[in-house]
Structure 1
Amino acid sequence: MIYKKYGKTGKEISAIGFGGMRFPKTGDTYDHDKCADIVVRANELGVNYFDTAPGYNDDHSELIMSHAFKSMKKPFYVSTKSSRKDGSKLREQLETSLKRMNLEKINFFHIWCILSLDDYRSRMVKGGAYEAALKAKEEGLIEHIVFSTHCTGDEIETIVNEGCFEGMTVGYNILNFPFRQKGLEAAYKKGLGIATMNPLGGGLIPQKADYFNFIKSEDDKNVVDAALRFNASHDEITTVLAGMSSIDEVIQNCKVGDNLVKLDQNKLKEIEARLFNSMDKLCTGCRYCEYCPKEIPVSKYMLSYNNHILGNTQDVLDNLKNHWGIKQEDVKDCIECGLCEGKCTQHLPIISRLKEIGAFEEISK
């Protein structure tokens, strides 16, 4: 496994990191033993950065990680998060995470899911999230204060230039890189460590392997390798967080981290030429939009809608029926309360997309 310096922290981080959001369910719940085996195997293969959060996998992720940590023999670092804006509530969540994972400190603690500059400012007020994290750092409960964001490149540049953080986690992949590159470069120039999430576009890249075949180079066995290698070969990017739901996926992803062959400039220009502006509007599958009061599985509809953006409306209908097993007409239960849009890290127009999906049958005939 190749290791890179995480900003100015002095830590060497594996080029492939473990994203703890994609653990597989066994029936209606999670088999902690089976899921922990996946984490342990990643550590055996050299992964030393493990990213989790309260709420991931129906609030099982931190517990699975804790179970795995007991069996891990190689040194590792832990990343978790809090989206609480109130300082006391962030402190409470931090203490819960420490207790759950049986840790004395969190190595990389994220001010989680900053959506805009206004949102960022709301975390920095007196008595707010950042102040509480800073106090916890002084007490030794946090080692490095970092942030996660889905902001634009310009917004990221503003945040990192204020100099409050040692690193960031950002949604970045082979589909949206032209829209986030400025923020990435600004963070790197400022000396921040950088972890990237959603390297596979929320699973869209492997699901549409034929469509995205153009991203492959001669060094890539498949589009998954191509997408991971694209991120990992950036000088700016410290670690690429890959959600891994099986030991086979761990082995495949770690092979990319074992042998990084950088993308040449000609290939990069070829890929960029094939992209278009709507690529930045593809749903990445973060699932923050779930828990609809009408029990609409919003994220599944949005992931299916990606097919419409890519030019095949019929595939939206086929995906709903055959992949997700949900009904097209159920989108009409939407009461337009806006809760999902308020949680969307990409600011997608979810309500209007649901309406479009409800009318697609007529369009596709």
Structure 2
Amino acid sequence: MQYKKYGKTGKDISVIGFGGMRFSKQGDGYDYDKCAEIVIKARQLGVNYFDTAPNYCEDNSELIMGHAFKSMEKGFYVSTKSSQKDGSKLRAQLELSLKRMNLEKVNFFHIWCILSMDDYRSRMVKGGAYETALRAKEEGLIEHIVFSTHCNGDEIETIVNEADFEGMTVGYNILNFPFRQKGLQAAYKKGLGVATMNPLGGGLIPQKADYFDFIRSSGDRTVVDAALRFNASHDEITTVLAGMSSVEEVVQNCKIGDNLKKLEEKKLKEIEGMLFNSMDKLCTGCRYCEHCPKKIPVSKYMLSYNNKILKNEQEVLNNLNGHWGIPPSGVKECIECGICEGKCTQHLPIISRLKEIGVWEDTL
């Protein structure tokens, strides 16, 4: 496994990190022993950065990680998060995370999921999230305060330059890199470590492997290999978080970290030339939009809408019926309250897309 320095922290971090959001259920629940085997295998193959969060995997991810950590020798680093703005609530969540994972401290603690500049500033107020995290760091409960964001490049640049964070986690992949590239460069220039999430576009890249085959270079066995290598080859990126739900996936992804060769500039320009503006408008399936008061499964509709961008309207309806088993007519329950758009990490025009789907059902 190859390693990079995480900003100015002095820590050597594996270029492939373990994303703890993709553990699979067995029946009605999670088999902690089997899930822990996946984590332990990653450590054996050189992964030393393990990223988790409250609520991942129906609030089981931290517990699974803690179960695995009991069988792992020291030498790895743990990342977790809190989206709480209220200081006392963030402190309570931090203490619960430490208890769940049986840790004395969190190595990388994220001010989690900053969606806008207003959201960012609300975390920085007196008695708020950042100040509380800073006190916890002084007590030794946190080693490094970092942040997670879905803002655009200009916004990220402002956050990096205004605040005293030591690193960040950001959604970055072959589909959206022009959208956040400026922020990535700003973080690197200031000496922040950078972890990237969603390197496979929420699964869309492997699902549309034929379409995205142009990103492969010689030596890339699959589009997945190419997408991971695209991120890992950036000087600005310390570690690429790959969600792994099986030992086989761990082995495949770790091979990228073992044999990393940077993309040539010519290949990068070729990829850039084939991208088009709408590709930054694809849903990555993060599911933050699922707060609909009418119980509309918004993320499923938006993931299906990706087929409109990549294929056609009929494929959207086919995906809804065949893959998700939900009726296109469900979009007509939308009351346009805007909650989903406020939560959307990609800032997608969800309401108008739902309306489009409703029209297609009537006309196709």
Q: How does 1:150-165 map to 2 (within 5 A)?
A: 150-165=150-165
Distance 2:56 2:337 in 1: 24
Distance 1:291 1:11 in 2: 38
The answer for the alignment partner of 1:302 in structure 2 is 302
The answer to whether the 8 A contact 2:54-2:61 is kept is: yes
The answer to whether the 8 A contact 2:234-2:262 is kept is: yes
The answer for the alignment partner of 1:332 in structure 2 is 332
The answer to whether the 8 A contact 2:147-2:165 is kept is: yes
Q: Per-residue CA shift, 1:260-313, capped at 9, x if unaligned?
A: 111111111111111111111111111111243332221111111111112322
The answer for the alignment partner of 2:110 in structure 1 is 110
Distance 2:28 2:164 in 1: 41
Indicate yes or no: 2:262 matched with 1:265.
no
Q: How does 1:134-153 map to 2 (within 5 A)?
A: 134-153=134-153
Q: How does 1:183-202 map to 2 (within 5 A)?
A: 183-202=183-202
The TM-score, its normalising length taken from structure 1, stands at 0.97
Distance 2:355 2:28 in 1: 30
Per-residue deviation, 1:179: 1.5
Per-residue deviation, 1:74: 5.5
Q: Per-residue CA shift, 1:125-154, capped at 9, x if unaligned?
A: 101100000000000000000000011111
SS in 1 for 2:248: helix
What is the percentage of aligned positions where both structures have the same residue?
82
Distance 2:361 2:213 in 1: 29
Cα RMSD after superposing both structures: 1.2
Distance 1:304 1:67 in 2: 35
The answer for the alignment partner of 2:221 in structure 1 is 221
SS in 2 for 1:110: strand
SS in 1 for 2:337: coil
Q: Which runs of 5+ in 2 are unaligned?
A: none
Q: How does 1:12-31 map to 2 (within 5 A)?
A: 12-31=12-31
**Poorly superposed stretches of 4+, deviation over 6 Å:** none
Distance 1:248 1:291 in 2: 34
Q: How does 1:124-139 map to 2 (within 5 A)?
A: 124-139=124-139
Distance 1:283 1:246 in 2: 24
The answer for the alignment partner of 1:256 in structure 2 is 256
Q: How does 1:200-239 map to 2 (within 5 A)?
A: 200-239=200-239
Aligned pairs, number: 364
Structure 2 counterpart of 1:54, one-letter code: P
Per-residue deviation, 1:73: 3.0
Q: Which runs of 5+ in 1 are unaligned?
A: none
Structure 2 counterpart of 1:139, one-letter code: E
The answer to whether the 8 A contact 2:115-2:343 is kept is: no
Distance 2:100 2:91 in 1: 14
Of stretches 186-195 and 333-342 in structure 1, the one that deviates more from structure 2 is 333-342
The answer to whether the 8 A contact 1:219-1:261 is kept is: no
Distance 1:361 1:50 in 2: 43
The answer for the alignment partner of 1:314 in structure 2 is 314
Distance 1:322 1:41 in 2: 35
SS in 1 for 2:293: coil
Distance 2:286 2:24 in 1: 15
Distance 2:91 2:7 in 1: 25
Distance 2:352 2:57 in 1: 28
Structure 2 counterpart of 1:355, one-letter code: K
The answer for the alignment partner of 2:44 in structure 1 is 44
SS in 1 for 2:170: strand
The answer to whether the 8 A contact 1:44-1:74 is kept is: no
Q: Per-residue CA shift, 1:234-279, capped at 9, x if unaligned?
A: 1110000011111111111111111111111111111111111111
Distance 1:276 1:144 in 2: 37
Q: Per-residue CA shift, 1:169-207, capped at 9, x if unaligned?
A: 001001111111111000000000000000000000000
Distance 1:67 1:301 in 2: 35
SS in 2 for 1:27: coil
Indicate yes or no: 2:47 matched with 1:33.
no
The answer for the alignment partner of 1:347 in structure 2 is 347
Indicate yes or no: 2:70 matched with 1:80.
no
The answer for the alignment partner of 1:182 in structure 2 is 182
The answer for the alignment partner of 2:67 in structure 1 is 67
SS in 2 for 1:211: coil
Indicate yes or no: 2:188 matched with 1:171.
no
Q: Per-residue CA shift, 1:108-129, capped at 9, x if unaligned?
A: 0000011111111111110110
Per-residue deviation, 1:29: 2.0
Per-residue deviation, 1:71: 1.4
The answer to whether the 8 A contact 2:329-2:361 is kept is: no
